[in-house]
Structure 1
Amino acid sequence: MPNKQLVIRRLTCISPFSAVIALGSEMSGGIQDVRAEEIVAIDSESGVRIKTAVGRGGFVKDIYVRGMTMKTMKWAFWMTGNYGSHADNNYDPNALPVIQNINDHDMVAENVTMAARLEGIPGNPFTGICISNVTIELAKKAKKVPWNCTDVAGVSSAVVPQPCELLPDQEPEKRTACNFPEDRLPIDNVQVQMCTYNRKYF
């Protein structure tokens, strides 16, 4: 049974050795429709990370992130299909994961070593990646190549520095905004119950 309709909102995170938002590596049941917004990431390994490998199976799809501010990062975006870790040796080597429809929109970052490391799986690329309206300020000792992309497919628009060729910049009249869904999820309608308690001191 997949994890579906997850909401991450108004989060500030410091994570020097890991990601602020990480999906995987365990995803055999699938992860779908994750919406993250109003995120502040400070001194973290990566802002958004998806990790999987051949033999994991499952899927990560329909991921939407917007309004993220990142300060001092190793990577702003990191996706890998070569995570290489399995719970045991009984996994199916033919089980290929599906990574599809990953949307990042309205983000700023500063002091970043590398804009993105996007590594899909040969013969089974990550598809539907959309990065829009993102400005990444590289660190003084940044990598010479800000984007490293293999076995991925998608588009970009209004992204600085310019993404890799596998995420071509769309012409202005064809640009997409990596639209964030506007419909409300059931969790948005949950009302928090408040209660009070008066304790008598003797």
Structure 2
Amino acid sequence: MVETSTSPWRFNHHRIDIKRWIPTYFSSHKTLFTVLWIVGFASVFIWQRNIVDGFLIFRWSVPVRPLPTLRPVAFNLTDFGGVGDGVTLNTEAFERAVSAISKLGKRGGGQLNVPAGYWLTAPFNLTSHMTLFLAEDAVILGIDDEKYWPLMPPLPSYGYGREHSGPRYGSLIHGQNLKDVVITGHNGTINGQGQTWWKKYRQKLLNHTRGPLVQIMWSSDIVISNITLRDSPFWTLHPYDCKNVTVRNVTILAPIFEAPNTDGIDPDSCEDMVIEDCYISVGDDAIAIKSGWDQYGIAYGRPSMNILIRNLVVRSMVSAGISIGSEMSGGVSNVTIENLHVWNSRRAVRIKTSPGRGGYVRHITYRNLTFDNVRVGIVIKTDYNEHPDDNFDRQAFPTLEDISYTSIHGQGVRVPVRIHGSEEIPVRNVTFRDMSVGITYKKKHIFQCAFVQGRVIGTIFPAPCENLDRYDEQEQLVKHSDSQNMTDIDYDF
């Protein structure tokens, strides 16, 4: 009979032998020192394996994170002939993969995995019920030769290519009339290689408006998360007339100078959108909420509404951290911007419009903003006179009202507030509460106002302009302003 179990006596006897063996083995101080030295020496090499090249015997590759399956069916780009060498053009591989996924809608769609590597491609379209997953160290590279970029009609709410009349270049990754689209990954990158585009734009060598990096149009249920977008030829992420959009844990990068119009995220006539937990440093507005341009936007009539922006760190040395406008002719309402840190920027938060825009900006809430080394903190500008053509209605004056700023703090700010309303476009019902901003220019022109009506609740720093009513912390009126139309605007500061 074969015995398959171990008795308690045998286990205890084995444990006693070990106890006798350990002291015997380490009875020599020299042996103990040698063991400790080897362990410590090996630990140093293990710690440094990702910092410098050591001896190959001590190096090993970091395990690759497995790709999650987020759809019933998953493909790899290499299944369709993709080659990630940074040289081979993979447009057809992407197109074949998207075509295969388009047939899986009734089964819940499909996932396209882009493995580590450099995947050069011309623009391609997405499909509904699709997840585009970029693995760690995966980089989708946009080809920088404009002959590969298709031309598309102008956006209907712009009537103009934005930079040139007529057609515009499409986006690197594009989609229209889609539902249930996810772009995500292990922080893989979509790189538009915009350097060539920026140079040609500055040299006036382009005959059409540059294309965005990612543009989704007339679509719903869109999620973009855990990726890096960089060096777009034009606007980086442009959801146009979309509903139910989430952008989360996204890094967006472009040079802070000489990368023209590389806005980070431009919600355009979008409804029910969340942007959160992102880092954006670009060559124009980090975020610009839009809804069409002059008479074209008025006719299209699709507002941007119900937008939540929170937990962001942003930088813009050329424009602003968060902008609304200037193309806001379809209207912008119900926007909340909270937990925002703007650093080393020209402006922090801005609303910009002009006569001819029409539309409205209303019910805008700013809460818990931090400005760090910003030239101008809060801006409302009503003379941003840039138009698609001369056919705009010069009597189409936008409405600006119900805008609140609460818990505004920071340091190194030259002009904390500049609200430049006008006789035709007054700014109504603006509220300031809990504001303390360290300033770098203390003589005058600190809190600038013109044609603005509103109130200050409690004590704020710096002292507000005389245009605003004063209330105590219990919101009881202390002093009513009799000079709402007073002008103290100085663009030299």
- How does the TM-score come out when normalised to structure 1? 0.82
Q: For the Cα contact (< 8 Å) 2:376–2:417, is it kept in 1?
A: yes
Task: For residue 94 of structure 1, report the CA deviation from its aligned partner.
Answer: 0.5
Q: Deviation at 1:142?
A: 5.1
Aligned residues: 175
Residues 47 and 75 in structure 1, CA contact (< 8 A), matched pair in contact too: yes
Q: How does 1:105-116 map to 2 (within 5 A)?
A: 105-116=406-417
- 2:395 is matched with 94
Q: Distance in 2 between matches of 1:43 and 1:4?
A: 29
1 or 2, which has the higher strand percentage? 1
SS in 1 for 2:438: strand
CA distance in 1, matches of 2:438, 2:369: 14
1:66 is aligned to 367
User: Given the alignment, which residue of 25, 44, 60 partners 2:326?
Assistant: 25
Q: Which moved more, 1:119-128 or 1:107-116?
A: 119-128
How far 1:109 moved relative to its partner? Answer: 1.5
Detail structure 1 runs of 4+ shifted over 3 Å in the superposition. Answer: none
Quick check: 2:309–2:336 contact (8 Å CA) kept in 1?
yes
Q: Which residue of 1 aligns with 2:340?
A: 39
Aligned to 2:15: none
Instruction: Give the counterpart letter for 1:18 in structure 2.
Output: S
Equivalent residue letter for 2:403: I
User: Matched residue of 1:173: which SS?
Assistant: coil
Q: Which range is displaced more, 142-151 or 91-100?
A: 142-151
- What residue ranges of structure 1 are gaps of 5+ in the alignment? 177-202
Structure showing the higher helix proportion among its residues: 2
Aligned 8 A contact 1:113 1:143 in 2: no
Equivalent residue runs for 1:66-145 within 5 Å: 66-139=367-440, 141=441, 144-145=444-445
Deviations 1:23-70 (A, max 9, x none): 011011100000111111001122210000111101000001111111
Q: 2:403 & 2:388 partners in 1: Cα distance?
A: 26
1:16–1:142 distance in 2 versus 1, CA, 3 Å:
farther
1:175, distance to aligned residue in structure 2 (A): 5.3
Q: Distance in 2 between matches of 1:175 and 1:21?
A: 32
1:8 aligned partner, one-letter code: I
Say if 2:315 and 2:345, in contact at 8 Å, map to a contact too: yes
Match of 1:149 among 449, 453, 456: 449
Q: Is the 8 A contact 2:351 2:381 kept in 1?
A: yes
Q: Which has the higher contact order (CA 8 A, sep 6+)?
A: 1
Q: Deviation at 1:144?
A: 2.0
Identity of aligned residues (%): 30
Asked which structure has the greater CA Rg, the reply is 2
Mapped partners of 2:370, 2:416: distance in 1: 13
